[in-house]
């Protein structure tokens, strides 16, 4: 079974982002990413580890990452006000609204506030619509990472049967649009799908984005299937488990992206690249 590692691709993307960030800085524009965090910034949830990891990667690439900590008691109005302030600040090029949010705050509703030109993680539902219509917009970094990883490993998509497991607004739906745009025949399945193994066995390419550790096994996969695992589920011992059981999948899959080391590092690198693009030109910029 081929391992679809993301480390090489992520390193190349980080290197390019750093070079373009340096060129921007030399021309007087310091690329800046703002991460709105409605949580205790000293906590140790997976969400906070992720924010720290993005901040470290940004710093290494010469991008300023600013965590806008609103605290775990932030109200929707306070989050909205922070997003509007960042939209209006010309020194800020990219905005991420980190989830989960406090109870009562709807991520999709609040993300509608993010200026699409600064929406580097494609969180604004309008960005998804523009994407679906073939208009310039930032895709959610995770969804774009799935396609980038497939391209990097030279997996053909046109005319092939792709199955996306999971229908979230941040991963499943945008991945489906990106695959359609590349001429794959796309099936989206989810928790209410009947006989999931039979449906996923129909996929030459399977994207697992369901958020349940090791839900997909060899039984779910056709012989030779190319499998991209988007899952990042925390295990009881503090580790990370994908949505695919790699040992079981190895008996049937032709290729599988590892967790960690597959989609994850590419996602982070694409967030940096999107921030650089936003600093260069806004969402209308070519990649």
Q: How far is the CB of 129 from a copy of itself (least distance, A)?
A: 3
Any bridge partners for residue 68, and if so which? 36
Q: Measured between alpha carbons, how far is 33 from 30 in angstroms, rounded to an integer? A: 10
194: annotated binding-site residue? no
The answer to whether 111 and 140 are in contact (CB under 8 A) is no
Kindly tell me which of 167 and 214 has the beta carbon lying closer to a copy of itself: 167
Within positions 165 to 194, which residues make up the interface with a copy of itself, using CB under 8 A? 167, 169, 173, 176-177, 180, 183, 185-190, 192-194
Q: How far is the CB of 244 from a copy of itself (least distance, A)?
A: 19
Q: How far is the CB of 286 from a copy of itself (least distance, A)?
A: 16
168: annotated binding-site residue? yes
With a CB cutoff of 8 Å and minimum separation 6, the contacts of 243 are 165, 166, 208, 209, 210, 211, 212, 213, 214, 215, 216, 229, 230, 231, 233
Closest CA to 48 of 77, 72, 78, 84: 72
User: What would the two tokens of residue 215 be?
Assistant: 């839900």
CA distances from 145 to 6, 132, 167, 172, 222 (A): 9, 17, 17, 12, 23
7, 52, 80, 126: residue in contact with a copy of itself (rule CB under 8 A)? 126
User: What would the two tokens of residue 40 be?
Assistant: 């205790």
Binding part of the chain for a copy of itself, among 70-78, 87-95, 154-162, 238-246 by CB under 8 A, reads 154-162
Q: How far is the CB of 65 from a copy of itself (least distance, A)?
A: 26
Instruction: State the DSSP H helix or E strand holding residue 187, giving kind and residue range, or none if neither.
Output: strand 185-189
Q: Do strands 255-256 and 226-229 pair parallel, antiparallel, or not at all (unpaired)?
A: parallel
Kindly tell me which of 90 and 134 has the beta carbon lying closer to a copy of itself: 134
62: annotated binding-site residue? no
Q: How many residues bind a copy of itself (CB under 8 A)?
A: 37
Q: Which residues here bind a copy of itself, judged by CB under 8 A?
A: 108-109, 112, 124-135, 158-161, 167, 169, 173, 176-177, 180, 183, 185-190, 192-194, 199, 202
Q: Annotated binding site, which residues?
A: 166-168, 232
Q: Annotated binding site for NADP(+), which residues?
A: 166-168, 232
């Amino acid at each position: 079974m081929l391992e679809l590692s993301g480390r090489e691709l992520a390193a190349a993307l980080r290197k390019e982002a750093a070079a373009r960030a340096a060129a921007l800085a030399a021309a007087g524009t310091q690329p800046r990413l703002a991460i709105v965090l409605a949580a205790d910034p000293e906590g140790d949830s997976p969400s906070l580890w992720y924010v720290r990891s993005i901040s470290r990667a940004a710093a290494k690439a010469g991008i300023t990452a600013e965590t806008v900590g609103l605290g775990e008691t932030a109200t929707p109005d306070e989050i909205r006000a922070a997003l509007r302030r960042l939209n209006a600040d010309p020194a800020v090029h990219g905005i991420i609204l980190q989830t989960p949010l406090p109870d009562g705050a709807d991520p999709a509703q609040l993300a509608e506030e993010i200026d699409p030109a600064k929406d580097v993680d494609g969180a604004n539902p309008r960005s998804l619509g523009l994407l679906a219509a073939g208009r310039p917009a930032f895709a959610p970094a995770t969804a774009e990472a799935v396609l980038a990883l497939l391209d990097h490993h030279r997996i053909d998509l046109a005319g092939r049967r792709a199955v996306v497991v999971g229908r979230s607004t941040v991963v499943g739906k945008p991945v489906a649009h990106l695959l359609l745009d590349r001429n794959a025949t796309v099936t989206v399945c989810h928790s209410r799908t009947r006989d999931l193994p039979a449906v996923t066995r129909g996929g030459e390419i399977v994207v697992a984005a369901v958020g349940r550790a090791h839900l997909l096994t060899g039984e779910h996969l056709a012989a030779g299937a190319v499998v991209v695992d988007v899952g990042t589920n925390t295990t009881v011992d503090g580790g990370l488990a994908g949505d695919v059981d790699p040992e079981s999948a190895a008996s049937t899959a032709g290729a599988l992206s590892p967790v960690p080391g597959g989609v994850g590092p590419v996602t982070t690198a694409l967030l940096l690249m999107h921030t650089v693009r936003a600093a260069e030109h806004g969402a209308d910029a070519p990649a």
